[in-house]
Structure 1
Amino acid sequence: MRVPLSWLREYVDLPATESGRDVQAKLIDVGLEVETVEQLGGDLKGPLVVGQVLTIEELEGFKKPIRFCTVDVGQANGTGEPQEIVCGARNFSEGDKVVVALPGALLPGDFAIAARKTYGRNSHGMICSGDELGMGDDSSHGIIVLPPEHGVGTDAIELLQLVDEVLDIAVTPDRGYCLSMRGVARETAIAYGLPLRDPALLDVPAPNSFGYAVKVSDAIGCDRFVARTVTGLDPESRSPIWLRRRLQKAGMRPISLAVDITNYVMLELGQPLHAYDRSRVNGPIGVRRAAQGEKFTTLDGAHRALDSEDLVITDDRGPIGLAGVMGGANTEIADSETDPETGEVRGTTEVVIEAAHFDPVTIARTARRHKLSSEASKRFERGVDPQAAAAAAQRTVDLLVLLAGGTAEAGVTEIVAQSAPRTVTMAADHPDRVAGVDYGRETVVRRLQDVGCDVVGQDELVVTVPTWRPDLNEPNDLAEEVIRLEGYENLPSTLPKPPAGRGLTERQRLHRRVGRALAGAGYVEALNYPFIGDQVFDQLGLEKDDELRRVVKLVNPLSDEEPALRTTLLPGLLSALRRNHGRGSHDLALFETGLVFRPDEARTAARLPADRRPTDEEIAHLDNALPAQPRHAAVVLSGAREQAGWWGKGRPADWADAIQAARTVAAEAGAELIVANGQYGPWHPGRCATLSVAVDGEQRVIGHAGELHPRVVKALGLPERSCAMELDLDQLAAAVQGPLQAPRISTFPVATQDVALVVASEVPATEVEAALRAGAGELLESIRLFDVFTGEQLGEGKKSLAYALRFRAADRTLTVEEASAARDTAIALATERTGAVLRGA
């Protein structure tokens, strides 16, 4: 909502020294979102005056039409002589009143006006268009032609109201009343503690039987309908400058007098109106629901098929308006035109004014269904004051009579569906308990009265809510009004005091530890939307019966291309990898920890009741019907893992880095990860590791890691040799026996023993390592594979694995004999389990 400060001052006597910035600060204090304050005409300087075109000479020989004009500007130029001006515009004639910028003037954009020679003539000033004066609307491109009643030499800056400040307010859905000058003025009056001149306080004649016939068939969709008729309108009448300028400052385009007046009253009072050409309305006006598929042409010329939930305005022919959204082309106000034969001006001379109150939900659904948001629908769907309809109709009638020479008919139609005032019962100290501040009953009552409530009662208040505040429905809403008007900045800052033992769960702590560990290993967290489409499973090369293809489908997805919840983190991460690679980042290491969703057809959810709070059992049943949501961790890599430099050669990321990421995650969980050669879906069959853990004596696969398959890389548009890892964090945590133990630190020295074993090429190194670890016993502190060798001297189908074993005791220094005995025992068990032979033996 754009609010000109000059217009706002009509309803609130603001101090003359208050600027737009001052008003902005006050309105922000009471909870309005004032985004900007636009300074209109701040860089504008005169002389800028009204002139009358005396003569026009067409200049020949130029690429575009050029006119040499003489303009009477009165005594504004100091001589009284006609002003000579060269102008290229053609939308004015001799005798027209125009706006003239004389030498010495400064127009918006730091455009200085001076006398100069152009097109072979001396030009002393400029005839101005609306664009050049910063009036900013679609009708401002041509030269401004003023009404003839304005005197020559009049100051055009004041006449056109070019200097002003405009507050741009982002009105939230619960404050629809602020989509009007009346609503903003009320908030301004409260903020300054000043009285409000309510523009809706008008003398309105009582309804009678002489008004235009109206029949409302749907009292739920339309609970109030006011109709007034004005006849004898002058079709040549035009909107006065003050009216056009207020509409322009508020961001609306002037169209015609009748339409401009309805828009003006809507901005002033917040009540949308519509004017029908009475001569084009056949029979009584009706309000009903549309027939399914019924055809209708709106004012924008679009032919629309209506829905049975749409509310329409009708006459004897059918729909003439889409209620609360847009009028119909068949009853629109006709533009005035001159008969070329008789010279008679024809146009709309009789109008029927509609001021109605429509159901907000109905209007919101209709506007979205037809993709037809309008200024009217924007207000109706947020809530319009139903009591303002009669005043808005009267205000429109008064302006039509004043500005178009019309005559108001005595008939007044008002159809009202009676309803009781809305009341809310609230304890007088409820705002105190919500805010933690002792306001007291007097302050609570005063602030509620400020917003228009009637309040009775002592310890328990019965609050009658004003009709323009449909958002006030319960005690907390009323408490919010008290708190915001007393000032959010006055609320004390207190930290919550959670009970002991209610910190993070073990699952949450593991999630955080894993994130920190991966970040410390050089990975960057990338959070992705949890939505996927079926096509991604084909791109990942998953089998038709793969469990990951069973997804939870959304009833109302954000995108039709991604209608399901993810069963794997890889699609989102790989999309982020592709997007960043395409933008020039080629060395990437990304990770994500998040939920995946696994459907269970056996779980069904019952529909919860809407007329009461669900019971704990119903909520628990609903929770049990949710799909399983295990937490996963995943990484993706491409490009260089280590950069080259003076320190040495770099190296590219490969399958081993993906496996190491899995080991990093397992270390944070305190679980022993089993890594074995594997083959699955998106991974390269020769460079894929299966990740497993032992749970209750059973080895359970929890994920995979390695290099992605070339077909997957091509299908997803990824960099070559991209790698990935994904594992189930919940299953990883289930493999941990007891609480996570801190590492044991011994003060005694370590004994290191190296061993090289020759095994068959197909024997996994992890099996050899497991045998060595089991045979070495509890003296073994760590084991590390530091070399893999193959060669002719070993024989075909053989490989050598070299391990470094570190032994240490917690209570003593080991002897050489003890370390050697542990090493020999480890070798013996490895020989027994894997057929390993000590190299060189």
Structure 2
Amino acid sequence: MRVPLSWLREYVDLPAEVGGREVATRLISAGLEVELVERLGADLTGPLVVGRVLAIEELTGFKKPIRYCQVDVGEANGTGEPQNIICGATNFAVGDKVVVVLPGAVLPGGFKISARKTYGHVSEGMICSSRELGVGDDHDGILVLPPEHEVGTDAITLLELLDEVLDIAVTTDRGYCLSMRGVARETATAFGLPLRDPALLDVPGAGGAGQPVRIEDEAACDRFVARTVTGVRPDARSPIWMRRRLQKSGVRPISLAVDITNYVMLEIGQPLHAYDRTRLNGTIVVRRAAAGEKLTTLDDVERTLHPEDLVIADDRGPIGLAGVMGGADTEIADAPQEARSPLAPEGTTDIVIEAAHFDAVTVARAARRHRLSTEASRRFERGVDPAAAGAAAQRAVDLLVLLAGGTAGEGVTDLGTPAAPATVELRADHPDRVAGVTYGREVVVRRLQEVGCSVSGSDVLQVTAPTWRPDLTDPNDLAEEVLRLEGYESLPSTLPKPPAGRGLTEGQRLRRRVGRALAGAGYVETLNYPFVGEKALDGLGLPQDDPRRRAVRLANPLSEEEPLLRTTLLPGLLETLRRNHGRGGHDLALFETGLVFRPTGQEPAQIRPPVTRRPTDEEVAALNAALPAQPRRVAVVLSGAREPAGWWGGERPALWADAIEAARVVAREARVELIVERDQHAPWHPGRCAALRVRRDGERRLAGHAGELHPRVVKALGLPERSCAMELDLDVLADAAGGPVVGPHVSTFPVATQDVALVVDNAVPAAEVEAALRAGAGELLESVRLFDVFTGEQLGAGRKSLAYALRFRAPDRTLTAEEATAAREAAVATAVSRTGATLRS
């Protein structure tokens, strides 16, 4: 909504020193979104005056029409002599009143005017078009003024070229601010000034021989006011002040009758429509459209109507799409020479004004169905004051009588009974409890009355919302009005105080620890959309019977290429890796935590509860049961160098072992120990893939996989060579963590270290050897660390040497050499028996 400040001052007596920016600041504090304060004519300086064309000399010999004009500007030039001006427009004649800019003036855009010689004559100024003055886009001809304006009159004042316009983004709950009346009310409240309500008019009651109207669908149209005006002059033109206000508000002037309906709509907020009375056939009927009916709207488009469309019709059929746009068959013909129909060859002289109140949902659906959003439909969608229909119709009638010489018809048609405004019970201290500030009953009542509510009661207030605020239906709505008018900036900043024992859940703490640990290990967190397509699953090389191919398909996906919900985090992470690698980032380490969606296919069919009530507990349970399992995962991907080159040595590329180490980092934060086993699992390389398991209640549960990606996957997805990845189920880790952490006993006695080297087959995992050493060493063993892996001819083909450092410590004494050696030998014996190892000398 564009609000000219000069128009706003007509309803609120703002101090002269108050400008648009201060008004915008106050309105923003009251909760309105003022996006811009436009200063019209800020770079315009005079002299700019009204002139009368005395003579025109047509110059020949040029490629385009050139006219040498003499224009009377009165005493504005200081001499009283006519100005000689060169002009290329041809839409004016001798005797016309035009706008003349004299030498020394500056037009919008910094265009300085001076006397100069052109086309063989000296041009002493310029005759202006609408675009040159900044009052419109018309540049095809000169702006010709009505003849009643005196020569020499200041055109800057006449055309209201200096003004400020507030551009307000009106939200859906503040439809009343799509009018000068609504914005003026907010401005008056913000400045503590009285309001002159433009809707406070003397409106005659229904009666007399007015235009016959019948409402067949009272649910969609609960009020319809019709007024008639006869004897309108078809050649009457809108006055300059009206056209300028419409232009500043972003509405193009068309003709007097149409301009009046637009003007009243902007002023009061009630959309109007004007019919040529001579082109109406019988009674006006408000009804639903019949199947197959057609209507040619004012934009000259023939539309096929839907049975849910609400239409205005007469005996011949539809003549308008209710609340959206009128029909061409009953359009107002502007002037005799511009009449668009042989039905009104002399122009429109008798007019019927419609001011109706239509259902917001019905209008909104019709506007979207026909892709026809109009100024009227936007207002009806957000809510129009049903009580203002009579005042708006009266205002339009008054203007037609005043400006077009018409005669108001004695009959007034006013049908329908709008629903009574809602009355809400509000505890007087409810806004206090919402805001955490003590306002008191007096402030609450005063603010609600400023909004337009009627208030009664003491501790419990009975609040009746005004007819222009259909959004006030709840105590919290009323509390919000008090808060915004008192000023959101006055609310104190206080931290909430949760009850003792509340805070983050263990799962939330785990996710935070995991994120910090991976970030500390050099990984960068990314957030990816949870949508995938079959192509991404094919790229991972998943078998057709892989459970990860059983995905939830979206009913209305954002992209037809990604209609599925992800069953693994890897597609999004690998796509991010590919994109960054393609843009020059070759050393990459990324991670993500998030939900995946794993349907079993056994979920019950989803129910659809009605929207007219809250779902029952049973319905909520059924809805939850229909949802797929949503485990939370963490995944990492790596490529390029894991350790960069520097003075310390060359770079080290990222390997499968780094992916496994990332899993161990996550496991340490979950306070569980990972069991690493060799495995074959897509999309990993069959020889460089590890299954990651955890122990829970004596069982080993699969938690995820890690390793190097299969070369075919790398090629299919366009990834860097030797890319690695890891994915873990955080829910499995959290479940395996068990109860609270128990701190270990720290012994003050010295440690005894024993090294052992065992030779095993290449097929024996190092983790299996380590487990055997732990099992045999007994309670004295503090830790086992693999510090060397060796292969060579002296060991034989297919053999490897694993060297471990064993640390022994007793909690209550210093171990003797014999005790440490005995524990070491027991550990070796168990490893030999379980893995077939031999002790390397």
Q: TM-score, normalised by structure 2?
A: 0.91
The corresponding residue for 1:13 is: 13
Alignment of 1:691-706 (within 5 A): 691-706=692-707
* Aligned amino acid, residue 771 of structure 2: A
The corresponding residue for 1:146 is: 145
1:556 positional shift: 5.2
| Maintained 8 Å contact 2:234/2:333 | no
Alignment of 1:188-267 (within 5 A): 188-267=187-266
* Aligned amino acid, residue 764 of structure 2: V
The corresponding residue for 1:668 is: 669
Q: 1:293, 1:520 → 2: CA distance? A: 68
| Maintained 8 Å contact 1:312/1:320 | yes
1:80 positional shift: 2.8
The corresponding residue for 2:378 is: 378
* Aligned amino acid, residue 133 of structure 1: L
The corresponding residue for 2:476 is: 476
Q: 2:551, 2:284 → 1: CA distance? A: 52
1:746 positional shift: 5.6
Residue by residue over 1:438-496, the C-alpha shift from the partner in whole angstroms, topping out at 9 and shown as x without a partner, is: 33333322222211122222233222221111011122222222232233333344332
| Maintained 8 Å contact 1:750/1:807 | yes
1:506 positional shift: 0.9
Identical-residue share of aligned pairs (%): 75
* Aligned amino acid, residue 551 of structure 1: A
Residue by residue over 1:740-770, the C-alpha shift from the partner in whole angstroms, topping out at 9 and shown as x without a partner, is: 3457666655555554443323333332333
The corresponding residue for 2:836 is: 835
The corresponding residue for 1:739 is: 740
| Maintained 8 Å contact 1:56/1:94 | yes
- Comparing 16-25 with 575-584, greater Cα deviation is found at 575-584
Residue by residue over 1:527-568, the C-alpha shift from the partner in whole angstroms, topping out at 9 and shown as x without a partner, is: 233344455433433333332333344455555554444332
* Aligned amino acid, residue 664 of structure 1: V
1:184 positional shift: 0.9
Q: 1:306, 1:777 → 2: CA distance? A: 87
* Aligned amino acid, residue 33 of structure 1: E
Q: 1:62, 1:644 → 2: CA distance? A: 76
Alignment partner of 1:774 is 2:770:
no
Q: Measured at CA, do residues 88 and 660 of structure 1 come closer, stay the same or move farther in structure 2, by a change above 3 Å? A: farther
* Aligned amino acid, residue 682 of structure 1: P
* Aligned amino acid, residue 449 of structure 2: Q
Q: Measured at CA, do residues 212 and 536 of structure 1 come closer, stay the same or move farther in structure 2, by a change above 3 Å? A: farther
Alignment of 1:594-613 (within 5 A): 594-599=594-599, 601-603=602-604
| Maintained 8 Å contact 2:231/2:406 | yes
Residue by residue over 1:500-551, the C-alpha shift from the partner in whole angstroms, topping out at 9 and shown as x without a partner, is: 1112111111111111112222222222333444554334333333323333
Any unmatched runs of 5+ in structure 2?
Answer: none
* Aligned amino acid, residue 627 of structure 1: P
* Aligned amino acid, residue 280 of structure 2: V
Q: 2:581, 2:58 → 1: CA distance? A: 62
Q: Measured at CA, do residues 574 and 256 of structure 1 come closer, stay the same or move farther in structure 2, by a change above 3 Å? A: farther
Q: 2:401, 2:325 → 1: CA distance? A: 25
* Aligned amino acid, residue 831 of structure 2: A
Q: Measured at CA, do residues 213 and 506 of structure 1 come closer, stay the same or move farther in structure 2, by a change above 3 Å? A: same
1:31 positional shift: 2.1
Residue by residue over 1:762-809, the C-alpha shift from the partner in whole angstroms, topping out at 9 and shown as x without a partner, is: 333332333334344444444444444444444333334444445555
Secondary structure of residue in 1 paired with 2:403: helix
1:219 positional shift: 0.8
- Comparing 658-667 with 323-332, greater Cα deviation is found at 323-332
The corresponding residue for 1:285 is: 284
| Maintained 8 Å contact 1:569/1:594 | yes
- Comparing 745-754 with 475-484, greater Cα deviation is found at 745-754
The corresponding residue for 2:629 is: 628
The corresponding residue for 1:507 is: 507
1:571 positional shift: 3.2
Q: 2:297, 2:641 → 1: CA distance? A: 60
- Comparing 178-187 with 793-802, greater Cα deviation is found at 793-802
The corresponding residue for 1:170 is: 169
* Aligned amino acid, residue 384 of structure 2: V
The corresponding residue for 1:356 is: 356
Alignment of 1:25-104 (within 5 A): 25-56=25-56, 68-89=68-89, 91-104=91-104
1:153 positional shift: 2.2
Q: 1:718, 1:62 → 2: CA distance? A: 68
The corresponding residue for 1:298 is: 297
1:388 positional shift: 0.8
The corresponding residue for 1:424 is: 424
The corresponding residue for 2:309 is: 310
Residue by residue over 1:95-131, the C-alpha shift from the partner in whole angstroms, topping out at 9 and shown as x without a partner, is: 4433333222223333333334455554433333333
Q: 2:461, 2:322 → 1: CA distance? A: 38
- Comparing 679-688 with 180-189, greater Cα deviation is found at 679-688
Alignment of 1:348-747 (within 5 A): 348-417=348-417, 419-555=419-555, 557-558=557-558, 562-581=562-581, 584-599=584-599, 601-603=602-604, 619=620, 622-713=623-714, 715-741=716-742
The corresponding residue for 2:320 is: 321
| Maintained 8 Å contact 1:788/1:799 | yes
1:411 positional shift: 2.8
Secondary structure of residue in 2 paired with 1:131: helix
Equivalent residue pairs, number:
836
Q: Measured at CA, do residues 304 and 564 of structure 1 come closer, stay the same or move farther in structure 2, by a change above 3 Å? A: farther
Secondary structure of residue in 1 paired with 2:166: strand
Secondary structure of residue in 2 paired with 1:338: helix
Q: 2:366, 2:381 → 1: CA distance? A: 10
1:324 positional shift: 1.5
| Maintained 8 Å contact 1:290/1:309 | yes
Q: Measured at CA, do residues 418 and 838 of structure 1 come closer, stay the same or move farther in structure 2, by a change above 3 Å? A: same
The corresponding residue for 1:128 is: 128
Q: 1:482, 1:328 → 2: CA distance? A: 44
1:629 positional shift: 2.3
Q: Measured at CA, do residues 787 and 200 of structure 1 come closer, stay the same or move farther in structure 2, by a change above 3 Å? A: same
* Aligned amino acid, residue 311 of structure 1: L
Alignment partner of 1:798 is 2:830:
no
Q: Measured at CA, do residues 835 and 425 of structure 1 come closer, stay the same or move farther in structure 2, by a change above 3 Å? A: same
Q: What's the C-alpha RMSD, in Å, of the aligned pairs?
A: 3.2
| Maintained 8 Å contact 1:775/1:827 | yes
Alignment of 1:801-812 (within 5 A): 801-810=802-811
Q: 2:158, 2:716 → 1: CA distance? A: 67
Q: 2:767, 2:288 → 1: CA distance? A: 74
| Maintained 8 Å contact 2:603/2:627 | no
Q: 2:399, 2:581 → 1: CA distance? A: 63
Alignment partner of 1:763 is 2:764:
yes
1:614 positional shift: 5.5
Secondary structure of residue in 2 paired with 1:52: strand
Q: Measured at CA, do residues 300 and 836 of structure 1 come closer, stay the same or move farther in structure 2, by a change above 3 Å? A: farther
* Aligned amino acid, residue 676 of structure 2: V
Q: Measured at CA, do residues 91 and 725 of structure 1 come closer, stay the same or move farther in structure 2, by a change above 3 Å? A: farther
Q: 2:64, 2:326 → 1: CA distance? A: 42
Q: Measured at CA, do residues 780 and 204 of structure 1 come closer, stay the same or move farther in structure 2, by a change above 3 Å? A: same
Q: 2:104, 2:579 → 1: CA distance? A: 55
| Maintained 8 Å contact 1:138/1:253 | no
Q: Measured at CA, do residues 493 and 764 of structure 1 come closer, stay the same or move farther in structure 2, by a change above 3 Å? A: same
- Comparing 784-793 with 165-174, greater Cα deviation is found at 784-793
1:181 positional shift: 0.7
| Maintained 8 Å contact 1:236/1:345 | no
Q: 1:256, 1:425 → 2: CA distance? A: 48
* Aligned amino acid, residue 172 of structure 1: T
* Aligned amino acid, residue 678 of structure 2: N
Q: 1:75, 1:606 → 2: CA distance? A: 82
Q: 2:543, 2:375 → 1: CA distance? A: 53
Q: 2:95, 2:685 → 1: CA distance? A: 85
| Maintained 8 Å contact 1:235/1:345 | no
Secondary structure of residue in 1 paired with 2:500: coil
1:398 positional shift: 1.9
Residue by residue over 1:169-195, the C-alpha shift from the partner in whole angstroms, topping out at 9 and shown as x without a partner, is: 222221111111101111111122221
Q: 1:60, 1:764 → 2: CA distance? A: 102
Q: 2:349, 2:750 → 1: CA distance? A: 107
Residue by residue over 1:272-328, the C-alpha shift from the partner in whole angstroms, topping out at 9 and shown as x without a partner, is: 122233344333222222334544443334444433322222233333322222223
1:161 positional shift: 1.0
